[in-house]
Structure 1
Amino acid sequence: MISTGEQVAGLFGVAGKGVAITGGGSGIGQALGMAFAAGGARVALLDVRPESLEASLALYAKGGLPATGVRCDVTDPAGVERAFAEAGGKIGRVDVLVNCAGITLWKPAEEHTTEEFRRVIEINLTGTFNCCQAAGRRMIPAGGGKIVNISSIRGFVGLPNGIAAYASSKGGINMLTRQLATEWGKHKINVNAIAPGMIRTPLSAFFVDSDVGKNYYLPRIMLGRCGETDDLVGTVLFLASGASDYVTGQIIAIDGGMLAAG
């Protein structure tokens, strides 16, 4: 029975955990990494762009937050394996994986090329699988771990303007999350996802400030505002901590109530 403040703090704590974050060089991944580092975790930021890693690590250092960077192309299975080996060497082991790497393609479905569609799927969905697989291969012999995938409410409902490839990739992440949770539960690996709504990041700012964002999207958010990356932190920390030991296979919407409104 949990009955002391110390027990509560420990329940939600991430201190000492080895955390690998893909897409950690910017946006959501960067923000989540800072929160983990502030909580005492050993953080490895994985990103395909060395310049983004360098900028993120400088930002962390400015705030007195320790972290390490590893270049990782999530579409290259062999490269992912090397990156996870390097990350594990730097942070001890990978106890937690947060999959943030991804891209968006804004284009009407009838104008998508097959190559464009495949590229989004390759990075967002196949890349997530590659990283889950690399982490799972380490977590199984280690006796367990936590995986948090970044999906989107677009994995549940469509949007009038064109994001067919992106929405398809996020729907795939939802099912991948449930499948891996089903397969790996016996290994004490919790696999969950968050499904953000409209979150302001450098990648999404143009949409947030667009006519569609302001006139179509914002009025459908029950809390009446666009989300910020900090709005995602609490749920991800929960899913990475001991507080979520009996939670797996879930996709948690963090969308200001948009899905609830239909």
Structure 2
Amino acid sequence: MSTAEYLQSIFSLEGKTALITGATRGIGKNMALALAKAGADIILVQRDGKTGVKEEIEAVGRKAYIYEADLSDRKSVGGIVSGVEKMGLSIDILVNSAGIQRRNPSENFLDEDWDAVIQVNLTTVFTLCRDTGKHMLDRGIKGKIINVGSLQSFQGGITIPAYASAKGGVAMLTKCMSNDWLAKGINVNGIAPGYIATEMNSALIADPVRSEQIMARIPAKRWGSPADFEGVVVFLASHGSDFMGGEMVLVDGGWMAR
């Protein structure tokens, strides 16, 4: 067996279809393109059809579909998997990458900001995991579910009570659903990004004091980039992770080891 054949046998996603949220930019976009380059067709869940990501996926020779849904609306989220089924598609891989952020000291944090963050960052993740898990079980699919957490799955952060609570919940949800489904052929794992240079972190990057504090603690001596997530998402979506369950894989430049 050649090196190429060996790697293909472990990491190829040919014949698979991945459903991914949050893929219009940043980490999610790079993960969607990485899955496509590894052989998967991609279903992009987004608010509207305005994106160049579909065309970029098609440019690497894979099929790409857009399913329009509002992740801030519980009813809209609840119709995603059944809607995909009506399109005649099956889901082999789910990647929950979408997220929003709201910042305010805890004593001033608004109810509406709490509700918005918990809905998109936790409740939507639960709903899609639940519905996709049932979809896989009903069809006998040996599937992969990948939830995007955060350093705040392990740490409280500053001025982000809703975000930290949601990402902590994602870590526990990942473990719980793995316990329920691993023996049935569904691997549920997660990725926990560190400080990544994306639009969501623009406020931190622009704050000279906080940005310097963050950089001083990162052993890699740089902020992460969306490209740093391509290998780990392919690994978790492939046969290479078949004996993993309930893990949150840190991609943080060594932050948590400090």
- The TM-score, its normalising length taken from structure 1, stands at 0.90
How far apart are 1:59 and its partner, in Å? 4.4
Partner residue, 2:178? 181
Partner residue, 1:117? 114
Among candidates 191, 194, 216, match of residue 194 of structure 1:
191
How far apart are 1:134 and its partner, in Å? 1.4
Partner residue, 1:164? 161
2:11–2:239: 8 Å Cα contact kept in structure 1?
A: yes
Structure 2: gaps (5+ residues): none
How far apart are 1:203 and its partner, in Å? 2.4
Q: Matches of residues 105-144 of structure 1 in structure 2 within 5 Å? A: 105-143=102-140, 144=142
Work out whether 1:87 is the aligned partner of 2:63.
Answer: no
Q: Percent identity?
A: 35
Residues 36-89 of structure 1, C-alpha deviations (whole Å, 9 max, x = no match): 112221101101x215x4343244456665421111223445433432234345
Name the CA distance, whole Å, in 2 between partners of 1:223 and 1:34: 25
Q: Matches of residues 67-86 of structure 1 in structure 2 within 5 Å? A: 67-86=64-83
1:68–1:90: 8 Å Cα contact kept in structure 2?
A: no
| CA distance 1:61–1:121, shift in 2 (3 Å) | same
SS in structure 1 at match of 2:132: helix
Partner residue, 1:257? 254
Deviates more, 1:198-207 or 1:169-178: 198-207
Partner residue, 1:35? 34
Name the CA distance, whole Å, in 2 between partners of 1:179 and 1:123: 19
Residues 100-137 of structure 1, C-alpha deviations (whole Å, 9 max, x = no match): 11101111111102221122111100010011011111
Name the CA distance, whole Å, in 2 between partners of 1:209 and 1:246: 41
Partner residue, 1:12? 11
Name the CA distance, whole Å, in 2 between partners of 1:170 and 1:212: 25
Name the CA distance, whole Å, in 2 between partners of 1:196 and 1:173: 13
Name the CA distance, whole Å, in 2 between partners of 1:195 and 1:8: 25
1:181–1:192: 8 Å Cα contact kept in structure 2?
A: yes
Name the CA distance, whole Å, in 1 between partners of 2:2 and 2:71: 42
SS in structure 2 at match of 1:253: strand
Among candidates 220, 225, 228, match of residue 228 of structure 1:
225
Structure 1 runs (4+) deviating above 6 angstroms are none
Work out whether 1:148 is the aligned partner of 2:169.
Answer: no
2:13–2:38: 8 Å Cα contact kept in structure 1?
A: yes
How far apart are 1:221 and its partner, in Å? 0.4
| CA distance 1:88–1:13, shift in 2 (3 Å) | farther
How far apart are 1:210 and its partner, in Å? 2.4
Residues 178-222 of structure 1, C-alpha deviations (whole Å, 9 max, x = no match): 000001112111000010001112222332342244211111100
Count of residue pairs the alignment pairs up? 256
2:178–2:186: 8 Å Cα contact kept in structure 1?
A: yes
Partner residue, 2:22? 23
SS in structure 1 at match of 2:66: strand
Structure 1: gaps (5+ residues): none
2:117–2:166: 8 Å Cα contact kept in structure 1?
A: yes
- The TM-score, its normalising length taken from structure 2, stands at 0.91
1:179–1:249: 8 Å Cα contact kept in structure 2?
A: yes
